[in-house]
Amino acid sequence: MGFLGIIPASKLAAFYDPKTQQLTLSAEGTVEEYTGNFRFRQVPWMGGFKFYLEAWTGPLTSHTQHYAFDQSFKLSMVPFPKDVIVVDANNPNGVPVEIHFGGHNDPASKPTSAAPSSSDGKAVQELPAPPQDTINVLYKWPFEVQHAAEVPKMGFINIDFDKRFLELESASINNGQIVWKFNSLETGDTQIIISVNGGIAQYTYRIVKDVRIFVLPEILEPGPVITQDKCEAEAESAILSFLGRVNIARRKVLQHYPDAVLYNVEASTTERQGVTSPKALGHMRVMFRVEKGTVTINSTGYGSFGAAEFKSGSILGNANIDWPVGMDADEADQILKKEGFKGPYTALSLMKPLYPGSTDDLYGFRMVDGIDKWSGGCRPGDNGVSAALASRDSGD
């Protein structure tokens, strides 16, 4: 587990060079083994400067290690404060650290044990953080993290993550949301932390997202199977099944659109060679019909979803999908292979086509070696398409 937290320090020191306007903070101490990415994180502080001493730790062992590091900041203030506040594990409420003037190379400026002194700073209100989210991620597959792009006046938003586990590929703003796109570098558990800092009104709160990175064989282990006689709550508990993921999206949309009905689902992979199991289709797009339009929600991880997007206007082509669905995608995959289609596929659709004599919810597989006539799979009656539809009436 790689998690971010405050760490203890046996020595703290601060140095300021008025010529370069550079404040250098130093820390020494003993921490858990496998602790790295040390840093002083600055937070808003009226009339002065305040920092959290943090690092990423994990996996946990019974061993410890010694550390010592410096970090510099370009800062100016008139008059410049005589101390800074540092929060570490030994001083969770913060301790004033006297600033030595004259630069980091001043012989008189040596790390010393943190000693109390006066401070004219004003405390920042730390708001309660929302409950932690868990994001399930396939190893080496991209995923997204989103947060509202509204920034407090004169405030800012930061995102923190352990670079041993995650790599930030891009950051953008889409439909009022900041979208960070990540890729995973290692398997295991880690965290992504979004910090929202106020400007004029001094406050800060942090959103913690636990990230579970796993490889494909783990999710292919036998798990709960959803059948038509199982209740919706059981379907939701099967988080790593196809319908379990759909139900997570469905419940999230229903919170804001109570009249939403499921219209279609498409799960896909970016792997050109395709996959041979529905569980390996990492991305999922779920569409719903609502009174005045449609709502679409896209996955950001394996079983986690971003913000729902509304579009006005009606949509034609298929009927609404029955819920609960009588058969999960794994069983449809078995039927597909039994019918002789054993090759890989790149997408899987769940839909109810408006086709004479058909009242079933259908799964459509987009085969790698086939001709694709319809972007969602294929319709009954199509010729020359190496895809198959598997269905079973929910009342069977």
Same domain membership, residue 16 and residue 148: no
Domain-embedded: residue 379: yes
* Residue 12 domain boundaries: 3-123
DSSP letter string, 298-351: EEEETTEE---EEEES---SEEPPPSS-SB-HHHHHHHHHHTT--S-EEEEEEE
Same domain membership, residue 198 and residue 108: no
Domain-embedded: residue 226: no
Into how many domains does the chain fold? 3
Same domain membership, residue 259 and residue 375: yes
- What local confidence, expressed as pLDDT, does residue 383 receive? 32
Return the DSSP state at 273. T
Which of 98, 123, 148 lies at the terminal end of a domain, its last residue?
123
Same domain membership, residue 22 and residue 82: yes
Choose between 54 and 306: higher pLDDT: 54
Domain-embedded: residue 220: no
Domain-embedded: residue 323: yes
Same domain membership, residue 162 and residue 103: no
- What local confidence, expressed as pLDDT, does residue 357 receive? 61
| Nearby residues of 250 by Cβ (< 8 Å), 6 or more positions away | 260, 262, 286, 288, 323
Same domain membership, residue 245 and residue 373: yes
- Distance between CA atoms of 215 and 301, rounded to whole angstroms? 13
pLDDT in tens, 194-253: 888 766 556 677 788 888 887 765 444 433 333 333 434 443 333 468 998 899 899 999
Mean pLDDT over each residue of the chain, to the nearest integer: 77
- Distance between CA atoms of 296 and 26, rounded to whole angstroms? 49
Q: Is 77 exposed, middle or buried (0-12, 13-18, 19+ CB in 10 A)?
A: exposed
What ranges in 199-241 are assigned the alpha helix state H?
A: 216-219, 232-237
Same domain membership, residue 253 and residue 167: no
Same domain membership, residue 201 and residue 239: no
Partners of residue 114 on adjacent β-strands: none
Domain-embedded: residue 327: yes
Tell me the residue type at 78: V
The CATH number given to whatever domain includes residue 176 is 2.60.40.2020
- Distance between CA atoms of 314 and 287, rounded to whole angstroms? 12
Domain-embedded: residue 152: yes
- What local confidence, expressed as pLDDT, does residue 302 receive? 81
Lowest mean pLDDT among 60-64, 128-132, 296-300, 301-305: 128-132
Same domain membership, residue 315 and residue 296: yes
Domain-embedded: residue 326: yes
- Distance between CA atoms of 131 and 110, rounded to whole angstroms? 42
Phi and psi for 257 in degrees, rounded to 5? -130, 85
Q: Is the pTM of this model over 0.75?
A: no
Which of 187, 214, 241 lies at the terminal end of a domain, its last residue?
214
pLDDT in tens, 141-176: 788 888 888 877 767 888 888 888 899 999 998 888
Domain-embedded: residue 396: no
